[in-house]
Amino acid sequence: MLAQAPAHGLRPADYGSARLGALRDSLAQPGTPAQRAHQLARFDVYLSDAGLRFLRDLSRGRLRRYTASARERLAGPAGQPAARLRAGLASHAVGTALLAGQPTNREYRQLQQALASWLRLPTVPDSAVQHQARYEQVSVNLERWRWEALPAADSAYVLVNLPACELLLVAHDSVLRRHRVVVGKPDTPTPTLSSTIDHFTLAPDWHVPRSIAVKEMLPHLQRDPGYLARNNYALYDGRGRLLDPSGINWALVSAQHFAYTVRQSAGCENALGNIVFRFANPYSVYVHDTPLRQVFAQPYRALSHGCIRLEQPLALAAYLLRRGGQPVQLPSEAECARQPRPRDVPLRRSIALFVRYATCTAEGGHLRFLPDLYQRDEVIRRGLFGPKS
C-alpha cells in the first residue's frame, strides 16, 4: 500500500520505504530463530509506524501537526488512526483501513483519481522535469484539500476557486451551475474562507471601504471636489451627517486623518451592481454583481480589491430562491436601472459557501492546471518535496 503513496501525492521515502524494503529482504535470508524473531519484530514496528503516519497524513495532511479532528473526536476512539489501523489488521484489510480516512468530497476524490490515472501514462524522457513539476503541483493541492475538506457527496454548497476565477454550485456530487468571477488582485487578494449565504440584497448601497476611499478617492477629491457627486457618491462625517465635499479643504486632508465615510447609492453605476450576496466573515468581502460586465470575457480576472464579482448573479439568486421553495420575483435589468430600490431577501434555505485556493483541479478524469495567482504554492511544495534541485 505504501508503494501507492505517489498516487495520493505523498512520497514513499517519507514512510521509510527503503528501510522497510531492506528489512523485508533480510527476512528471506537464512538466520537463527532468534535473529529472525528480532528482524521480524523490527519490521513489525517500522511497518506499523509507517502505516500510522501514512493514515494520518492521508486524512489530515502531512504538513499539519497532528491533532484529533472534530470528526475523529465525534467518532470516539474507534475513529482514531491507531484504532483504524488495528481494525484493518484484525480484518486483514489494512489497505482499506489506510485509505478510509482520506477526504470524501468530490474535489479531492476527482483530483486523486485523475492523478492516479495520469501517473500510469508513459513519460517522455525529455519532459521529465516538467512532469515532476506538474506532479508536485497536484500534490500541493491534494494537501490543501486534506486541510480544508468540503462536505460529503449528499451536501449542497457554493464553491469559489480563486485561481480558476470560477464559482460552482454543487449538489449531490454534481456541478449544477458554473459562473465566471473576478477575484482580488495579487496585492489585494481575496481571502479563503468558509461561511453561509442566508440572504442577498437587491439594488444595494455601497459603503466604500476606507482603504479604497483614502488610496483611490482622496487623490481625486484633492484635484476635484466634484468627483463624488459626478459618480453618485455621498460623503458623511463620523456621526453619519451628510457633508458637502466642496466645503472641505482637501489639500489639508491626508490618508492618516481621513475622518469621513463614503457611500454610493443604488443605481446602474453602483460598484456592487444590482445584487450582493452577503455572508458572515471577518474580511468584509462579499459576492456581488458589477456594472463592468465586459471583464468576464477576459482570461485574466484577478482585478478586484478583494470582493468577488459574479457573472449572471440574478440567475444564481433565482436558483437559491427555487431551492427554498420561494417565489422567484426578481427585477429585470431594466427595472433595476429604472427604479433601484434597496431590498433584503432572506433565503428559507441557506447554503454553505467555501472560498478556496486550488491551482489544480480535475474534471472528467483530466487534470486542469491553473495559474498560481497569489504565489502560494511554493511554500507548500517545499514543505512536501524540499528545495528545488
Q: Residue 92: which pLDDT band, with cuts at 50, 70 and 90?
A: low
Q: What pLDDT shows up at residue 231?
A: 86
Q: Residues with Cβ < 8 Å from 259, sequence gap 6 or more?
A: 237, 238
pLDDT at 4 over 80: yes
- As a whole number of angstroms, the distance between CA 13 and CA 54 comes to 11
How many Cα atoms are found within 13 Å in the side-chain-facing hemisphere of 86? Answer: 7
pLDDT above 90: residue 95: no
For residue 33, being part of any structural domain is answered with yes
Q: Which of 20-24, 48-52, 104-108, 125-129 is modeled with the greatest confidence?
A: 104-108
Given a contact cutoff of 8 angstroms between Cβ atoms, the answer to whether 189 and 171 are in contact is no
Rounded Cα distance, 157 and 150, in Å? 9
Does some domain include residue 365? no
Query: For residue 39, what is the enclosing H or E element?
Result: helix 33-60
- 264, 282, 300 — which closes off a domain? 264
Q: Please state, in angstroms and rounded to a whole number, the distance separating the CA atoms of residues 178 and 312.
A: 10
Which of 74-83, 212-221, 254-263 comes out lowest in average pLDDT?
A: 74-83
Residues of the chain above pLDDT 90, percent: 57
Instruction: State the average pLDDT for the chain.
Output: 88
- pLDDT above 80: residue 43: no
- Taking a C-beta distance cutoff of 8 angstroms, is the pair 345, 156 a contact? no
The pLDDT of residue 76: 47
Torsion of CA 157, 160, 114, 389, to 10 degrees: -140
Least confident piece of the model among 34-38, 55-59, 192-196, 217-221: 34-38
The continuous run of DSSP H or E covering 348 comes out as strand 343-356
The alpha carbons of the chain give a radius of gyration, in whole angstroms, of 27
pLDDT bracket for residue 93 (50, 70, 90): low
Residue bearing the bigger pLDDT, 126 or 343? 343
Instruction: Provide the domain count of the chain.
Output: 2
Under a CB-based contact definition with an 8 Å cutoff, are residues 192 and 162 in contact? yes
In a domain, 10, yes or no: yes
Measured distance CA(264)–CA(254) in Å, rounded? 21
CA distances from 290 to 99, 181, 240, 310 (A): 44, 10, 26, 7
Q: What does the pLDDT look like over 138-181, one tens digit per residue?
A: 999 999 999 987 887 778 999 999 999 999 999 999 999 999 99
Instruction: Please give the Cα distance from 326 to 163 (Å, whole number).
Output: 33
Q: Find the mean pLDDT for residues 200-206.
A: 91
The answer to whether residue 226 sits within a structural domain is yes
% residues pLDDT > 70 (the chain): 92
What integer pLDDT is reported at residue 3 of this predicted model?
Answer: 81
Model pLDDT, residue 73: 55
Q: How many CA atoms lie within 13 A of 203 on its CB side?
A: 17
Would 112 be classed as within a structural domain? no
pTM equals 0.87
The confidence band for 23, taking pLDDT boundaries of 50, 70 and 90, is: confident
pLDDT of residue 78: 47
The pLDDT of residue 389 is above 90? no
The answer to whether residue 62 is domain-embedded is yes
Q: Of 72, 102, 132, which residue sits at a domain end?
A: 102
Q: In this structure, is residue 175 part of a structural domain?
A: no
Find the domain containing 214 and state its range: 207-264
Q: C-alpha cell of 370?
A: 491553473
Domain assignment present for residue 319? The answer is no
The reported pLDDT for the residue numbered 70 is: 58
Which residue, of 84, 102, 120, is where some domain finishes?
102
- pLDDT given at position 59: 85
Kindly state the DSSP code that residue 215 receives in the 8-state scheme: I
pLDDT exceeds 70 at position 207: yes
